[in-house]
């Protein structure tokens, strides 16, 4: 095989892997939108908050330490040296469930039957408030997140592909980050679990009923509020997974909340109501932007086209299929 | 009754505000444009803490500058250019100096501050050609500029290749902003001079995702990579370089890509990464002992004090020290402690931080000596290379402070500043 072709395959592979990382963020948006019709602007901050909380538990950081010390003149920073990953993840999950409950109690409960735009505005407020709380609780230093997921180039893939190039050619072998392979495996497990949960459990069916028609679901005795808490908790769990993956790659810091921007074109392309759409959309955006950056980027004087190219792809797609790849078709009956 | 109470209240407020304003005028106002929130906060916080601790120490130890207390109101920019300009407008009255902490903000402030008669000090960042004091009367960027930095990095690469880099390939991974684009012109000139090929690889804000960039590096196989990054871009780039097994000792960042924040997330993978620097890390300096004694031990530390001695904290100390020294010099020149913004500019232009003076100020061996002049607002142009040791989690200086290629840099500065002078109809001074 020619090196050019191998490089092209490598770009596609890496695009797919990046796409999975975007899908992890998009999944949280889809779940909440499906169940409650709310476009949760705070999903990126959820991922940040979950990652901050996880590192906080891992390292035994005292929450709100700076505030406590300022107010009471104390000098508390850590209450233990470290916590095993399993327990730290478990505690973070509990925290995200508690957060979902608080959001339902303080925000959503009071906005039932309001226009979607009001709910959207509420999530914008929520995003900024949660970012501030995260800062107060855990501080804004760059934090190292290590839950034992390996990272770095896959040596196995490099060695397996090095012989594919013509003999004598100076080919290094193909590169894929092991962290991204793990992200793919975890995303597959997540999607399969979510599908099984919604198809084969009573709560899952109730969740689908609420997604289809709030009024009808209420009329058969499904508690809308319990379902909302559940959906926000699941979406908090997905945010934690996304936060772990992105945080492992770049360290946990406040720019992590901006990963939400990576999920938007994925949602436009895949549709706001489809879990498979979030996955396929992510893969298409990932591959599209990487191919564009590497093969077309050089023709632009400024370069760095991948960020806006993803949105161009999504816009073009909107023209032909406004509801997205797998989104529900919009039919207005007169 | 209510109207009477209201009138009394208003009168009291007016008296209180006027007495505060009078007090403020008597003191020396050093407004701080900071970013303690947002994507770049992890870098903005230690740097701002360094400034605040130094000012507090001067107020506590010396009673201020020549008896005048330092006021240092903070204005949060979030590293956003527009907000930075608003902060400037809000705080410019009676301000001695502005340190924008962003090249984008600096570019916007250059014409405004020049018109308003306010000093702008962009320490080792901002518009490089502002080093030409003949054109940029109110702007200072000492002790070293980005163009010096680019040529010092190339000089280091030359040294490691026995003086010959013809046919080699050097990639520049840069923040796609005014800051990141600053060294391109110098590197293009140097590539012609030394015969190396230059690869330009922009990374969009914030730089969380750089897979395509590092795939290009893997395919293009540059011999060296230079980086002009900031915030999360640095961490992701260093981690990505380690992931594709790029030799870390051939990866050199500018001084804003060389803090502990940048290398720690990559763990052992960051071992051997290099960056330029114009100040030393660590706490073994007299200034640290003084800050500990007069500020930290009294529970007055800015933030939680955890950044004490880090690269960016120490840079904040250095920046604040130069600003304070400029006020001291201005007071000496004009024979009064109550200096005006115009007097302060004179002080900044006559700053002479010799080795002896640095020692007096508690900065012995902390940074190379430099002096400003009417013609030269860019300082000495000296920087060193430091290397990260991931085992001990420490930066180690591996070279002496060295000059860049002054032939190339000075010519480019003269060209760029002459163009600016023509556009803005500025007559050269210092004649």
Nearest to A50 by CA among A257, A226, A275, A262: A257
Please say whether the beta carbons of B241 and B216 come within 8 A.
Answer: no
Interface test with A, best of B43, B46, B211 (most A CBs within 10 A): B211
Minimum CA–CA partner of B243 in chain A: A152
Nearest-CA distance from B332 to chain A in Å? 39
Region B283-312: mean pLDDT is 93
pLDDT digits (tens, 9 = 90+) for B324-382: 999 999 999 999 999 999 999 999 999 999 999 999 999 999 999 999 999 999 999 99
Nearest-CA distance from B258 to chain A in Å? 14
| Rounded distance between C-alpha atoms, residue B201 and residue B66, angstroms | 49
Mean pLDDT, rounded, of chain A: 90
Q: Considering Cα of B49, then B81, then B183, then B260, what sign does the dihedral take? A: positive
Q: Which helix (H) or strand (E) holds B116?
A: helix B103-116
Nearest to B203 among A7, A151, A304 (CB): A304
Check B41 against A65: CB less than 8 A apart: no
| Rounded distance between C-alpha atoms, residue A129 and residue A157, angstroms | 44
Cβ contacts of B261 on chain A, cutoff 8 Å: 141-142, 251
Cβ contacts of B263 on chain A, cutoff 8 Å: none
Check A140 against B36: CB less than 8 A apart: yes
pLDDT at A41 over 80: yes
* CATH 3.40.50.2300 for the B146-280+384-405 domain, yes or no: yes
Please say whether the beta carbons of B382 and B369 come within 8 A.
Answer: no
Interface test with A, best of B172, B178, B259, B265 (most A CBs within 10 A): B265
Nearest to B211 among A18, A146, A254 (CB): A18
pLDDT digits (tens, 9 = 90+) for A145-195: 999 999 899 999 999 999 998 887 888 899 999 999 999 999 999 989 988
Minimum CA–CA partner of B42 in chain A: A141
Interface test with B, best of A6, A18, A142, A159 (most B CBs within 10 A): A142
Cβ contacts of A15 on chain B, cutoff 8 Å: 211
Please say whether the beta carbons of B146 and B388 come within 8 A.
Answer: no
What pLDDT, on the 0 to 100 scale, is given for residue B39?
84
With a CB cutoff of 8 Å and minimum separation 6, the contacts of A249 are: A151, A179, B236, B239
What pLDDT, on the 0 to 100 scale, is given for residue B4?
54
| Rounded distance between C-alpha atoms, residue A223 and residue B26, angstroms | 66
Residue A224 lies in a domain: yes
Check B243 against A152: CB less than 8 A apart: yes
Nearest to A293 among B212, B235, B306 (CB): B212
Q: How far is CA A235 from the centre of its chain?
A: 9
What pLDDT, on the 0 to 100 scale, is given for residue A334?
64
Minimum CA–CA partner of B216 in chain A: A294
What pLDDT, on the 0 to 100 scale, is given for residue B6?
52
Nearest-CA distance from A80 to chain B in Å? 18
pLDDT digits (tens, 9 = 90+) for B138-184: 999 999 999 999 999 999 999 999 999 999 999 999 999 989 999 99
Check A306 against B264: CB less than 8 A apart: no
pLDDT band at A328 (very low <50, low <70, confident <90, very high): low
Residue A46 lies in a domain: yes
Residue A288 lies in a domain: no
| Rounded distance between C-alpha atoms, residue B234 and residue B311, angstroms | 14
- ipTM score: 0.89
Check A289 against B201: CB less than 8 A apart: no
What pLDDT, on the 0 to 100 scale, is given for residue B9?
56
Tokens in use for A230? 């559940």
Question: pTM for the whole thing?
Answer: 0.89
- In three-state secondary structure terms, A291 is helix
Are B28-145+285-380+411-424 and B146-280+384-405 the same fold in CATH?
Answer: yes
Say how many domains are in chain A. Answer: 1
pLDDT band at A76 (very low <50, low <70, confident <90, very high): confident
* CATH 1.10.10.60 for the B28-145+285-380+411-424 domain, yes or no: no
Nearest-CA distance from A214 to chain B in Å? 38
Nearest to B42 among A7, A21, A142 (CB): A142
Region B118-137: mean pLDDT is 97
Nearest-CA distance from A178 to chain B in Å? 9
Region A249-278: mean pLDDT is 89
Minimum CA–CA partner of B212 in chain A: A290
Please say whether the beta carbons of B155 and B101 come within 8 A.
Answer: no
A166 is in which domain, residue-wise? 3-257
pLDDT at A75 over 90: no
Region A7-36: mean pLDDT is 92
What pLDDT, on the 0 to 100 scale, is given for residue A240?
95
The number of residues in chain A equals 334
Interface test with A, best of B40, B180, B203, B209 (most A CBs within 10 A): B209
pLDDT digits (tens, 9 = 90+) for B369-421: 999 999 999 999 999 999 999 999 999 999 999 999 999 999 999 999 999 99
- Residue identified by tokens 């005795």 is A221
DSSP 8-state secondary structure symbol assigned to residue B169: E
Check A250 against B236: CB less than 8 A apart: yes
Cβ contacts of A302 on chain B, cutoff 8 Å: 176, 202
Region A247-268: mean pLDDT is 90
Nearest to B230 by CA among B173, B156, B151, B188: B173
pLDDT digits (tens, 9 = 90+) for B80-94: 999 999 999 999 999
- For the ranges B105-109, B177-181, B319-323, the lowest mean pLDDT is seen at B177-181
What pLDDT, on the 0 to 100 scale, is given for residue B21?
44
The CB density around residue B150, as the number of other CB atoms within 10 Å, is: 29
Region B209-226: mean pLDDT is 94
With a CB cutoff of 8 Å and minimum separation 6, the contacts of B289 are: B362
Nearest-CA distance from B201 to chain A in Å? 7
Minimum CA–CA partner of A75 in chain B: B304
Half-sphere exposure (CA, 13 Å, Cβ side) for B255?
Answer: 30
Cβ contacts of A262 on chain B, cutoff 8 Å: 208-209
pLDDT digits (tens, 9 = 90+) for B15-70: 544 444 444 445 999 999 999 988 888 899 999 999 999 999 999 999 999 999 99
What pLDDT, on the 0 to 100 scale, is given for residue A211?
78
**Distances in whole angstroms, Cα of residue A313 to Cα of each of A271, A275, A306, B107:** 14, 20, 10, 34
Nearest to A278 by CA among A14, A26, A41: A26
Cis peptide before B143 (omega within 30 of 0): yes
Q: Collect all residues from B whose CB is shorter than 8 A from any CB in A.
A: 36-42, 45, 176, 200-204, 206, 208-209, 211-213, 215-216, 218-219, 231-232, 235-236, 239, 242-245, 261, 264-265, 267, 269, 299, 303-304, 306
């Amino acid at each position: 095989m020619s090196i050019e072709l191998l490089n092209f395959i490598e770009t596609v592979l890496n695009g797919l892997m990046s796409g999975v990382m975007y899908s992890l963020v998009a999944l949280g948006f889809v779940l909440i939108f499906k169940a409650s019709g709310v476009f949760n602007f705070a999903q990126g901050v959820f991922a940040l908050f979950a990652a901050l909380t996880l590192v906080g538990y891992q390292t035994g950081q005292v929450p709100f330490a700076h505030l406590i010390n300022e107010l009471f003149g104390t000098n508390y920073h850590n209450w233990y040296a470290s916590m095993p990953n399993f327990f730290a993840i478990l505690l973070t999950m509990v925290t995200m469930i508690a957060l979902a409950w608080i959001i339902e109690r303080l925000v959503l409960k009071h906005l039932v039957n309001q226009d979607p735009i009001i709910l959207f505005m509420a999530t914008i407020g929520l995003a900024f408030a949660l970012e501030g709380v995260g800062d107060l609780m855990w501080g804004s230093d760059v934090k190292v997140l290590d839950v034992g997921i390996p990272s770095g180039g896959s040596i196995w893939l490099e060695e397996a592909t090095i012989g594919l190039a013509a003999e004598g050619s100076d080919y290094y072998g193909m590169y894929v980050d092991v962290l991204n392979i793990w992200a793919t495996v975890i995303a597959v497990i997540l999607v399969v679990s979510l599908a099984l949960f919604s198809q084969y459990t009573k709560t899952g069916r109730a969740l689908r009923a609420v997604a289809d028609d709030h009024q009808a679901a209420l009329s058969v005795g499904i508690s809308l509020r319990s379902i909302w808490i559940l959906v926000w908790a699941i979406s908090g769990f997905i945010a934690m997974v996304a936060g772990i993956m992105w945080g492992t790659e770049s360290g946990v810091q406040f720019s992590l909340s901006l990963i939400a921007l990576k999920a938007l074109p994925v949602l436009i392309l895949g549709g706001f109501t489809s879990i498979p759409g979030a996955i396929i959309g992510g893969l298409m955006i990932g591959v599209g932007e990487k191919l564009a950056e590497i093969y077309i980027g050089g023709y632009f004087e400024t370069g760095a086209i991948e960020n806006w190219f993803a949105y161009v792809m999504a816009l073009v797609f909107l023209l032909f299929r406004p509801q997205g790849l797998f989104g529900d078709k919009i039919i207005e009956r007169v | 009754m209510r109207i009477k109470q209201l009138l009394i209240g208003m009168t009291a407020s007016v008296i209180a505000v006027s007495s505060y304003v009078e007090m403020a005028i008597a003191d020396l106002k050093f407004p701080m444009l900071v970013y303690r929130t947002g994507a770049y906060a992890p870098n903005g916080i230690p740097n701002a803490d360094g400034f605040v601790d130094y000012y507090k120490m001067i107020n506590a130890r010396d009673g201020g500058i020549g008896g005048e207390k330092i006021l240092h109101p903070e204005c949060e920019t979030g590293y956003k250019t527009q907000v930075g300009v608003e902060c400037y407008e809000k705080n410019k009255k009676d301000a001695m100096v502005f340190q924008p902490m962003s090249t984008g903000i600096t570019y916007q402030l250059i014409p405004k501050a020049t018109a308003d008669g306010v000093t702008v000090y962009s320490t080792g960042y901002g518009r490089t050609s502002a080093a030409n004091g003949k054109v940029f009367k109110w702007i200072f960027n000492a002790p070293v500029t980005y163009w010096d930095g680019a040529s010092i990095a190339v000089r280091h690469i030359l040294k490691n290749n026995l003086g010959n880099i013809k046919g080699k390939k050097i990639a520049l991974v840069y923040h796609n902003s005014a800051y990141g684009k600053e060294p391109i012109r110098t590197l293009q000139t140097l590539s012609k001079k030394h015969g190396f090929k230059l690869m330009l690889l922009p990374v969009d804000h914030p730089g969380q995702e750089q897979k395509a960039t590092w795939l290009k590096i893997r395919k293009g196989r540059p011999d060296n990579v230079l980086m002009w990054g900031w915030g999360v871009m640095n961490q992701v780039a260093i981690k990505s370089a380690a992931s594709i097994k790029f030799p870390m000792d051939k990866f050199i960042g500018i001084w804003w890509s060389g803090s502990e924040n940048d290398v720690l997330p990559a763990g052992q993978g960051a071992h051997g990464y290099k960056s330029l620097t114009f100040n030393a890390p660590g706490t073994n300096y007299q200034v640290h002992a003084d800050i500990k004694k007069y500020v930290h031990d009294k529970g007055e530390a800015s933030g939680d004090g955890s950044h004490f001695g880090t690269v960016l904290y120490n840079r904040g100390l250095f920046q604040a020290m130069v600003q304070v020294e400029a006020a001291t010099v201005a007071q000496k020149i004009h024979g009064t402690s109550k200096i005006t913004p115009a007097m302060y500019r004179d002080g900044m232009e006559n700053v002479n931080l010799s080795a002896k003076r640095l020692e007096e100020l508690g900065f012995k061996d902390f940074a190379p000596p430099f002096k400003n002049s009417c013609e030269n607002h860019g300082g000495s142009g000296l920087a060193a290379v430091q290397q990260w040791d991931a085992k001990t989690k420490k930066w180690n200086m591996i070279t002496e402070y060295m000059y860049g290629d002054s032939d190339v840099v000075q010519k480019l500065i003269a060209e760029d500043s002459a163009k600016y002078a023509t556009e803005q109809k500025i007559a050269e001074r210092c004649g």
